[in-house]
Amino acid sequence: MIGTSIAEYIFIRGCILFLHNIAPASLLYCVLLLGPLPTALSGYRLPPYLEAWLVAEAAFFTIFFLPYKYHLQRPAIHPELLSREERAKLFKRCNATVKDPEKYLSQWFLGAKEEQIKRENVKEFIRWAFLNAGQAESEDEGEVEGYVNAMEKLLGRDIPSGKGSAKSLRLTVDKVDCLHRSLLWYFCVCVVDTVTYWSMLYNGFHFHRTSLARFFTLFPFRPLTLLTTYRSPVEHLTYWHRPHSSKTRLPVLFIHGIGVGLYPYTNFLRDLNKAGEVGGSDAGVGIIALEIMPVSSRITHPALEKDVMVREVQAIVKHHGWSRFVLVSHSYGSIISTHLLKSPVTAPFIGPMVLVDPVSFLLHLPDVAYNFTARQPVRANEHQLWYFGSKDIGVAHSLARRFFWSQNIVWKEDLGVEGENGEEGRNVTVVLSGRDLIVDTEAVRRYLTASFSEGLTSNGKAACVTNKNGKEMITKIGKEDNGAWTSGRWSGSGLEVLWFEHLDHAQVFDFEKTRMPVVQAVELYSAKDGIVQALADS
C-alpha cells in the first residue's frame, strides 16, 4: 500500500486516469476508423501496431467486459440460514461489541443522518444481515421487530416509524460494482506474475498447477506454469511448495490477501524460507503458499464456496503428508483461515496461527465493508484501494456474491487459545497496523485484549497488555524501532498482538525491519510446537 503524500497522490491518480480511459479512447478511435475520417485527421493515422492495440482494447471492452459485467449481476446463493436461536445469539453477541451505536448505524447506512434512517430502513438491513433476505417475509416479522427493539435500547432512543431516504449497505444484494480493466493492465499483471514465478523458483519453491484443461480458464494466461512437472491434487487451487523435511518443526501454510497474488509477499516468503534453513539433518521447514486467483486481478472462476475451499486445502495438505502446520494469513486470507478453523475437517491440522491485518474480527462492524466497497476515496492510498482493489472484476464479485459476513466472522473463542486458568490451547499472534485504512484496528485491539489490563508507555512507542497472571499480551513497535521485539515482550504463548503504530494495511511486508518480527513469530511457533508434535507422534 502506498502512502498519502502529494507526490503519491499525483502518481496514483495519473495511473488511474490513464488506465481507465484506454477503453473510451480506443472506442472513439475505432468509431473514427469505421466512419470517414475528417480530412484534417486522415493524414494522422496511428502506426499499425498502435491501431491493432486500440482495436483489440475496443473489442475486449464491447465483446467481453459488457456482457460479463451483466453476467456477474446474477443473485447470490446465500448459505443455509442459521436457526432462530442461533440468529438471536449472534445478534446479541454483535451488539455487545458495538461501542458507538450511532456511528455503527450511520455507517451501515452509508453515512446517512439520524433523521434519514427510520424503522423500515433498519428492518430492511436486519433482514439482509441476519435472515439472508432482501424482502420482507411475514413469518419473520416478529423476530425482526424484536431486533429493532434491541437496536433502540442500544441507541438509547426510539427509531421513528416509516421509511426514510437512507440506503443501507447490503453486499450480497447490491449490484456488483466493478470497473473495466484494459488489456494493457492485464499485460502488466502478466509481467508481475512472471517476476513472481522466477523469484519463487529462485527461492526454492515448486509450482503446482491444475490440469492443462483449465489453462484457458484464467486470464491473463500463464504460459510459464506449463513448464512445471508438479500437479495440484485439486481442481481449482494452484500453489507454491517448498518440501518439508524437518522432524522437529512444523511446516507453514500461507494464504495471501486481495491484490496481484503472491507478488507483494515474495520477500516475506524468501525470509521465511531462509529462517527455515538451519543446516544439519533437520533442515527444511516446508511452506505451501496458496494462490487465490479470484482476488488476484485475474479473470477466472468465481471465489470458491466455503466448503469447496476447505476440501481443497485439506486435500493439498494431506497430499504432502502434513498432519499439523502453522497457519499464516494476510487480510482476505483471514477469511479462508476462519473457514479452516471452524471446520471439523481442517481444524485438527491447524497449530499456531499468525494473522496479519486480519479482516475477520468484528466483521459485523461496518468498517471493513464500508471502507472497501463504499467509501469515496480522497487520499492516495484510498484511491489505490478503490481502483486496483475493490473495483476489480474478480474482487467485486467475490465480495458482492461470495462474501457472507456471518460465515466469515471469527470470535476470540473460535481461536482456541490458552485459557486464563492455564489450560493449554493454540498460540495465536495477531499483527495490526495503527494506520490501517480498511480495518478499525483500535477496535480490534481492544476486543482482543479486553480481558487483560493494559499499560502504555508515555512515549507511545511500546505497549504491554497483561493477563491476570502477568503474562504480556501485546508488543507495540513504533516508527523508530529497529524491528526487534520491544523490550522482549512477545513470548509466543497464548493470544498476543503485534502493533505497528505507523503502518498502513499490508505495509508490514514492505520493509525488512517490520517483516522480521512476523518471520520470527512464525519461526518460533514452528520450532516450539514442532517439538511438541514430534513427541506426540513418537
Q: Are 231 and 209 in contact (CB under 8 A)?
A: yes
| pLDDT score recorded for residue 529 | 75
Largest CA-CA distance found in the chain, in angstroms, rounded: 86
Q: What is the DSSP letter of 521?
A: H
Mean pLDDT of 509-534: 86
Where do the domains of the chain lie, and which CATH numbers do they carry?
A: 6-71 (no CATH), 84-155 (no CATH), 183-537 (3.40.50.1820)
3-class SS of residue 356 = strand
Return the exposure string of 31-55: e unless at least 16 CB atoms fall within 10 Å of the residue's CB, then b. eeeeeeeeeeeeeeeeeeeeeebbe
- What is d(CA 534, CA 275) in angstroms, rounded to the nearest whole number? 20
CA quadruple 208, 211, 217, 221: dihedral positive or negative? Answer: positive
Q: How many CB atoms lie within 10 A of CB 81?
A: 14
List, for residues 417-467, the tens digit of each pLDDT value. 865 445 578 999 999 999 999 999 999 999 998 854 443 332 333 344 444
List, for residues 362-419, the tens digit of each pLDDT value. 999 999 999 999 999 999 999 999 999 999 999 999 999 999 999 999 999 999 986 5
Return the exposure string of 233-243: e unless at least 16 CB atoms fall within 10 Å of the residue's CB, then b. ebebbbbbbbe
DSSP 274-320: HHT---STT----EEEEE-GGGTT-B-SPPPPHHHHHHHHHHHHHHT
Mean pLDDT computed over every residue of the chain: 89
Q: What is the DSSP letter of 4?
A: -
pTM flag (> 0.85) = yes
Cell output for 188 = 502488466
3-class SS of residue 230 = strand
119-131 and 141-155 helices, crossing angle to 10°: 110
Which residues 6+ apart lie within 8 Å of 512 measured at CB?
Answer: 267, 271, 483
Q: Are 345 and 311 in contact (CB under 8 A)?
A: yes
Q: What's the burial of 63, exposed, middle or buried (CB within 10 Å: 0-12/13-18/19+)?
A: exposed
* Residue scoring higher pLDDT (420 or 517): 517
- What is d(CA 536, CA 416) in angstroms, rounded to the nearest whole number? 19
DSSP 142-210: HHHHHHHHHHHHHHTSPPPSS--S-----TTTS--------HHHHHHHHHHHHHHHHHHHHTT-EEEE-
| pLDDT score recorded for residue 281 | 52
Q: What is the dihedral of CA 361, 364, 369, 370, to 10 degrees?
A: -120
Query: Is 133's pLDDT higher than 90?
Result: no
List, for residues 255-311, the tens digit of each pLDDT value. 999 999 999 999 999 999 988 776 555 668 999 999 999 999 999 999 999 999 999
Q: Are 432 and 425 in contact (CB under 8 A)?
A: no
Q: Kindly list the distances between the CA atom of residue 462 and the CA atoms of 58, 231, 504, in Å, as whole numbers in the listed order.
A: 55, 47, 18
